[in-house]
Structure 1
Amino acid sequence: RAALEEVEGDVAELELKLDKLVKLCIAMIDTGKAFCVANKQFMNGIRDLAQYSSNDAVVETSLTKFSDSLQEMINFHTILFDQTQRSIKAQLQNFVKEDLRKFKDAKKQFEKVSEEKENALVKNAQVQRNKQHEVEEATNILTATRKCFRHIALDYVLQINVLQSKRRSEILKSMLSFMYAHLAFFHQGYDLFSELGPYMKDLGAQLDQLVVDAAKEKREMEQKHSTIQQKDFSSDDSKLEYNVDAANGIVMEGYLFKRASNAFKTWNRRWFSIQNNQLVYQKKFKDNPTVVVEDLRLCTVKHCEDIERRFCFEVVSPTKSCMLQADSEKLRQAWIKAVQTSIATAYRDKSDESEKLDKKSSPSTGSLESGSESKEKLLKGESALQRVQCIPGNASCCDCGLADPRWASINLGITLCIECSGIHRSLGVHFSKVRSLTLDTWEPELLKLMCELGNDVINRVYEAKVEKMGIKKPQPGQRQEKEAYIRAKYVERKFVDKYAISASPPEQEEKTVSKSCEEKRLSISKPGPVTSLQSNDSGIQQSSDDGRESLPSMVSANSLYEPEGERQDSAFLDSKHLNPGLQLYRASYEKNLPKMAEALAHGADVNWANLEENQATPLIQAVLGGSLVTCEFLLQNGANVNQRDVQGRGPLHHATVLGHTGQVCLFLKRGANQHATDEEGKDPLTIAVEAANADIVTLLRLARMNEEMRESEGLYGQPGDETYQDIFRDFSQMASNNPEKLNRFQQESQKF
């Protein structure tokens, strides 16, 4: 009790300190914004004075230069306050509202059950010995209360330990982000931070390890907590125990009533068990087990309240369903939880086996892989800044040429200095989406997109006529010249080389050049005796029993920058004879990001629909092409993730049909509607279940469950719980860096 009281006092004091710090941060931000407004008014006053002093060239030039410098400082201040808002106010407020609230709730429950225990002790002491029924009643109440007290006390201690391990990482994380914002603000006086910089970098590395250790410690404590709770059940509840790591492989076993599939729907009592990733039952102990579900990864379990019998639940697989009945509500809940836990464990075990297989099947190949070894290290072992700056042209600002840019435009795929990034922000997100390479978190598919484009590629498109027009790019420090140049470059597109549209009618042109694309689409969607379908994010391969020619392999990532004359695909003609929408449409299938960027620069509608090919969009073509990066590029440039073709199928439908797990994960993260049905009335989940694709079924069910949880709890607009985010983050990493693993998982699923 003394130790708990000391911890409670420490947490209360911590809450006061954090509340005070958040309030001071809000006051600082408000004061800073007021300072920026006053500073801007002062700067306008200097400009008015400069215009008044037009007769004196020295005064006018000096005052103009001073006003430009003040304007730059205002922009730097605005960026600093924005980073402060996110690093201090948002993070610490979330810690106070979420983590400390959980601690207080656990404390209230502990105090309540403590009081109940004291009352039970008093009542037990007051009962008279000659009243035997009262003695028994008081004894039973005291026993139950003590048991409840032990559980609640255990929960309370767990919550205290979790809070203690997390408080350091949350405080240090917010403060480290805050200091990095100041480091960016004082980029001109970086020498003042030279002594503090190495310490901050070391702290960042320690923080990463601290977060990992805290998460590991939390999992270990939760496992111990769960084990203690399970062993603390009374003898009547021993049937509820299950163990996913049992030595004999049996997770749970016991008697259940099973409804027969015959016309009489009779119920029979059978011995059921969950073992070896299967649900089986026996009529007698000596009989061979009958398999109900061959692969738990492909099934789901749910309550059944619409039948006359009590305590019923249903296990549904892609081929059949099984109605079961437990002896009590507790047993029903235990079986449902055991099945759900086994599904998750089976999926994790498959992933671990595949990773071990990767390590065993990839021996050193010497010089054969030396060319790609450095690129692999680049994508996995370095920071976002290092990865992006290694791309040709990215070591300097795309617009002014300043070295070591720390900002990027994610929809354009370019790097920017801090001054140009402020100008890009003022253009609006429909022209440029700015993100920091050092302060923001980068998703793997977005980082890979940045590595596929770069300043050289984009400038060949947006600055094609700069030399012909005799225009010089602005230099660092020329704020007004930069703003005019950037607006002319990206908004007005004055420097783009406008090519001539062919004189033939667009309808005839689209019909001619898209014929081969339509044939490729039909080869995928046409019914036939297909024996296998293998797909990944780098291509599609289809074979059939009737000897039809397989689909041509897609353009590899390394061929994106080859000369146009070296490509042999006769279906794609010279881009100078296409309208921009059709060029974007075809380049999306080719996975040719430079061509796509060129089409957008020439005014292509990112949601352009091809009337000759079932009103398919460039995003649907990107799905058929099999490229995750191409889809991400279109989405970042405003592509509608829910736009469907004439068959009622959107990008999520097509990705599910083709088994592109990485694309399914991407579309779900970008808000795709998985409840939409095609003209056959099938939604993506139905298609995935019919195809027995365990990975996609898992993703769709998790997304649907997360959506239902957020709706039931009123958490609209929030991403979901940590488990959901962790799973989707793992799939994103795998789809971007190791797509061959998803391909292998799919092949394994098709064997069942």
Structure 2
Amino acid sequence: MTVKLDFEDCLKDSPRFRAAIETVETEVSVLETQLEKLLKLCTTMLESGRQYCAHSKTFVSGVQELSHHSLDDPLMSECLQKFSESLTQMIDRHEELLDVTQQSLKNQLHSLVKEDMKHFKEARKEFERGSETLASALHHNAEVPRRRHHEAEEAMAALKNARSAFCARALDYILLPVFQINVIQSKKKSEILKFMLTLMEGQSSYLEQGFLVAKQLEQYRKDLAVQLHQLVLEAAREKRDMEQRHTEIKQKDLLQDDFGPEVRTEPGGAVMEGYLYKRASNAFKTWSRRWFSIQSNQLVYQKKAKDVVTVVVEDLRLCTVKPCPDHERRFCFEVVSPLKSCLLQADSERHQQAWVCAVQNSIASAYSEDRLEFSGQPLERTASLSAAKLQSPSGRKLRGSVDKHVLDQVQRLEGNAQCCDCREPAPEWASINLGITLCIECSGIHRSLGVHFSKVRSLTLDSWEPELVKLMCELGNRVINQIYEARVDEMNVKRPQPGCSRAEKEAWIQAKYVEKKFITKFPKAGLRPSRSGDIRSPEKPPKPFLKPKPPSQTRRTVGNAPSRLSPSPGPREATAPVSPPTAEELQNLHPGALLYRAAGAPPSLPTMADALAHGADVNWVNAAQESRTPLLQAVAANSLLACEFLLQNGASVNQPDSRGRGPLHHATILGFTGLACLFLKRGANMSAVDADGKDPLSIAIDSANADIVTLLRLAKMREAELALGQSGDETYLDIFHDFSLMASNDPEKLTRRSYDLKLTTL
């Protein structure tokens, strides 16, 4: 408020003036107390803010150190660097806000409290002195007795002088505090409002600059969120793999299992590692446990990972290895070189045998070129094929890696862009034996049904073999739903939607695939198989598998394409496949017979899926045609997809016909390299012999099929290594992967051009 006083009251020093002065002084005192409190609070806020900024800078420094430590991870390094820079800019803006607030506090509130209030107090003291002087003169004049004329005259003269001086200086002494009071009241408004306005402008600028810094990272944060989603998927895959490994390990008898040396593949060649006891060459003959490894034809060891490697044997090719059964310690063997010998001890007999075999293999690897020449051209061709694969500049994905195009390729098929069961868009899971795509929730329900109903695999996390991708593209949601949902509209059943509960989806999937409530009823009338399984028609006698003629009497074939050199029939035509059955014939067949006929040339995967849905036995035997199975029919048709479909649905890869020939025998006889590779990968028995006493390798050598001879030899070598407890050479898997790629994508490259090759038996 503004102080207004009458000048006469000021000169008279009236009670009204004194009361007004006291009221204003009280308000100024309260204002001073409030302003001092606000100054302390603001000072505390500034100190806390500066401490926060200091701690924030320390935190950012820690983030930057972590970024420098993560230079080998570009994603994390870039993220930490960008975020630390943005946080630094925000902290700088915060410090600018604190500086503005402190400057405004000093210019406005601090000057108001420390200077203007000080002037007000000094003016008040002057006013009080003037009042006290006037009051003293009046009091002295009043005390002089009447009889003392001389003193009375002096007191009157002093009073007159004091009154004149008071009248002359009254306005200055009185008006000065009034003026100071009015100044303080005016500054109280302007200075406080100005301080608050400056503070709010600083806050607004700070928040606006922080928003701009965050806005600059908006696109990067979105991209990082996508990458984070991929990391979550990868983490889920790793977690699932770890759980599977954990389950497998728990199923083993850990108390009886001894963990032996490890064989793995590195750029320098096969490496074997493990702990061994080594006897020292000193007089005490002490034994020490060391980590030994075989790499680059050298035997080396070290105590700790950071220790310098000690070379025991420079070149294992110049050494021999032998067990030491007569030594007092068990499981000992000796590596003898021209210069010295080294006595070693394993933890068990199996470990001892593994190390002896590893050293022997390392010695034999020096003569690998001689062995390749002795074994013939197939291994040379295999080696060159594998080398070409490893050095291919095309950047094709390595074996076992995830093909990023599988998801797009499978989802592009009609109906596959939605979940087969609940129509959820963009499904990322699949059932490989049914050939359908699934959302993550439906895939979990399928997995709970068991692998005999549905084999679930991720389109983004798992690796996909080329034949499986083609199988998925051959079937698809539309085809399978035509089978398993054929009577849904007729039965007026409501399909589940993406928003349905898990219980509803589970009930639907159970009814659809397990109970098969919605498939068409299989016709009861018509042609039925006899007790022997005869599905022949009188006009179509059985056509047996025929062995191809010698090279001189047959044409050469390239993949599935006919040869341009000669029109004479080749081994593929020698099978004389049964002509495709008509739709009426298929409708009158037993489910097993339908599966058998549909697997023949040309195979029909939708019909095969229909037969399995109606309860066909995937290993159904046609006793009237040499006990052939649907898988043997698919072999005769040289259909990689039909064979893969049957195997995924539980077909036996080793079930023979009446002549003792399984699928691998027939693929070898007919020269179908891609099928032979598929059966070997699925665990076909290479040692099984037919009625003539021949195994697949003997048949391949007789027919001079270089590719199949190569595959069988490699498979036998790998089988022998696994029998010794070794993990096997990864090159074998790479070669099989190459043959699978050619069989699926470039079957014309699998040529039988080596009829004139002279092969030696193993």
- TM-score, length-scaled by structure 2: 0.50
Q: Give the one of 591, 594, 598 matched to 1:583.
A: 594
Say if 1:505 and 1:636 are closer, same or farther in 2 by CA, change over 3 A: closer
Structure 2 partner of 1:692: 704
| Aligned-residue offset at 1:390 | 1.6
Structure 2 partner of 1:339: 370
Structure with bigger gyration radius: 2
Give the Cα separation in 2 of the matches to 1:398 and 1:451.
14
CA contact 1:393–1:455 (8 Å) conserved in 2: yes
Q: Given residue 600 of structure 1, which amino acid in structure 2 is its aligned partner?
A: L
Structure-to-structure mapping, 1:205-216, within 5 angstroms: none
| Aligned-residue offset at 1:729 | 2.0
Say if 1:645 and 1:533 are closer, same or farther in 2 by CA, change over 3 A: farther
Say if 1:153 and 1:339 are closer, same or farther in 2 by CA, change over 3 A: closer
| Aligned-residue offset at 1:428 | 1.1
Give the Cα separation in 2 of the matches to 1:101 and 1:693.
32
Deviates more, 1:645-654 or 1:544-553: 544-553
CA contact 1:354–1:741 (8 Å) conserved in 2: no
Structure 1 partner of 2:510: 487
Q: Given residue 86 of structure 1, which amino acid in structure 2 is its aligned partner?
A: D
CA contact 1:587–1:593 (8 Å) conserved in 2: yes
Does the alignment pair 1:512 with 2:536? Answer: yes
Structure-to-structure mapping, 1:252-401, within 5 angstroms: 337-342=368-373, 346-347=377-378, 350=381, 382-401=404-423
More helix by share: 1
CA contact 2:547–2:670 (8 Å) conserved in 1: no
Q: Given residue 748 of structure 1, which amino acid in structure 2 is its aligned partner?
A: S
| Aligned-residue offset at 1:610 | 0.8
Q: Given residue 688 of structure 2, which amino acid in structure 1 is its aligned partner?
A: A
Structure 1 partner of 2:741: 733
Q: Given residue 489 of structure 2, which amino acid in structure 1 is its aligned partner?
A: E
Q: Given residue 728 of structure 1, which amino acid in structure 2 is its aligned partner?
A: F
Structure 2 partner of 1:440: 462
Give the Cα separation in 1 of the matches to 2:487 and 2:642.
27
Give the Cα separation in 1 of the matches to 2:570 and 2:733.
42
Structure 2 partner of 1:724: 732
* Structure 1: gaps of 5 or more residues: 1-76, 121-147, 165-224, 235-328, 359-379, 556-566
Structure 1 partner of 2:754: 748
Q: Secondary structure at the match of 2:510?
A: helix
Structure 2 partner of 1:682: 694
Which string of whole-angstrom CA distances, capped at 9 and with x for unpartnered residues, describes residues 1-54 of structure 1?
A: xxxxxxxxxxxxxxxxxxxxxxxxxxxxxxxxxxxxxxxxxxxxxxxxxxxxxx
| Aligned-residue offset at 1:420 | 0.5
Q: Give the one of 84, 90, 106 matched to 2:239.
A: 84
Q: Given residue 490 of structure 2, which amino acid in structure 1 is its aligned partner?
A: K
| Aligned-residue offset at 1:447 | 2.0
Q: Given residue 512 of structure 1, which amino acid in structure 2 is its aligned partner?
A: R
Structure 2 partner of 1:624: 636
Give the Cα separation in 1 of the matches to 2:660 and 2:263.
46
Say if 1:690 and 1:501 are closer, same or farther in 2 by CA, change over 3 A: same
Q: Given residue 598 of structure 2, which amino acid in structure 1 is its aligned partner?
A: A
* Structure 2: gaps of 5 or more residues: 1-231, 250-258, 285-292, 320-359, 390-401
Q: Secondary structure at the match of 2:554?
A: strand
Give the Cα separation in 2 of the matches to 1:496 and 1:150.
60
Q: Give the one of 606, 609, 623 matched to 1:611.
A: 623
Give the Cα separation in 1 of the matches to 2:728 and 2:295.
31
Structure-to-structure mapping, 1:143-182, within 5 angstroms: 155=300
| Aligned-residue offset at 1:481 | 1.6
Q: Give the one of 424, 431, 443 matched to 1:421.
A: 443
CA contact 1:535–1:660 (8 Å) conserved in 2: no
| Aligned-residue offset at 1:384 | 2.0
CA contact 1:666–1:732 (8 Å) conserved in 2: yes
Say if 1:389 and 1:580 are closer, same or farther in 2 by CA, change over 3 A: same
CA contact 1:516–1:571 (8 Å) conserved in 2: no
| Aligned-residue offset at 1:637 | 0.4
Q: Given residue 423 of structure 2, which amino acid in structure 1 is its aligned partner?
A: G
Q: Secondary structure at the match of 2:542?
A: helix
Say if 1:432 and 1:705 are closer, same or farther in 2 by CA, change over 3 A: same
CA contact 2:297–2:315 (8 Å) conserved in 1: no
Give the Cα separation in 2 of the matches to 1:334 and 1:470.
69
Say if 1:721 and 1:334 are closer, same or farther in 2 by CA, change over 3 A: closer
Say if 1:354 and 1:606 are closer, same or farther in 2 by CA, change over 3 A: same
Give the Cα separation in 1 of the matches to 2:713 and 2:368.
16
Give the Cα separation in 2 of the matches to 1:150 and 1:491.
54
Q: Given residue 586 of structure 1, which amino acid in structure 2 is its aligned partner?
A: R
Say if 1:552 and 1:395 are closer, same or farther in 2 by CA, change over 3 A: farther
Q: Given residue 699 of structure 1, which amino acid in structure 2 is its aligned partner?
A: L
| Aligned-residue offset at 1:88 | 8.3
Aligned residues: 452
Give the Cα separation in 1 of the matches to 2:511 and 2:295.
70
Say if 1:479 and 1:355 are closer, same or farther in 2 by CA, change over 3 A: closer
Give the Cα separation in 1 of the matches to 2:551 and 2:261.
56
Give the Cα separation in 1 of the matches to 2:579 and 2:631.
24
Structure 1 partner of 2:605: 593
Deviates more, 1:334-343 or 1:433-442: 334-343
Structure 2 partner of 1:636: 648
Structure 2 partner of 1:462: 484
Structure 2 partner of 1:289: none
Q: Given residue 371 of structure 2, which amino acid in structure 1 is its aligned partner?
A: Q
User: Structure with the greater relative contact order (CA < 8 A, sep ≥ 6): 1 or 2?
Assistant: 2
Say if 1:540 and 1:708 are closer, same or farther in 2 by CA, change over 3 A: farther
Structure-to-structure mapping, 1:26-45, within 5 angstroms: none
| Aligned-residue offset at 1:448 | 2.0
Deviates more, 1:496-505 or 1:441-450: 496-505
CA contact 1:588–1:621 (8 Å) conserved in 2: yes
Say if 1:550 and 1:651 are closer, same or farther in 2 by CA, change over 3 A: closer
Which string of whole-angstrom CA distances, capped at 9 and with x for unpartnered residues, describes residues 305-336 of structure 1?
A: xxxxxxxxxxxxxxxxxxxxxxxx99x96896
Q: Secondary structure at the match of 1:467?
A: helix
Say if 1:333 and 1:396 are closer, same or farther in 2 by CA, change over 3 A: closer
Q: Give the one of 545, 549, 554 matched to 1:532.
A: 554
Which string of whole-angstrom CA distances, capped at 9 and with x for unpartnered residues, describes residues 448-484 of structure 1?
A: 2112111111111111111111112101232222111
Give the Cα separation in 2 of the matches to 1:683 and 1:155.
42
CA contact 1:531–1:543 (8 Å) conserved in 2: no
Q: Given residue 509 of structure 2, which amino acid in structure 1 is its aligned partner?
A: I
Structure 2 partner of 1:450: 472
Structure-to-structure mapping, 1:59-78, within 5 angstroms: none
Structure-to-structure mapping, 1:68-147, within 5 angstroms: 84-87=239-242, 90=245, 116=281
Q: Secondary structure at the match of 2:437?
A: strand
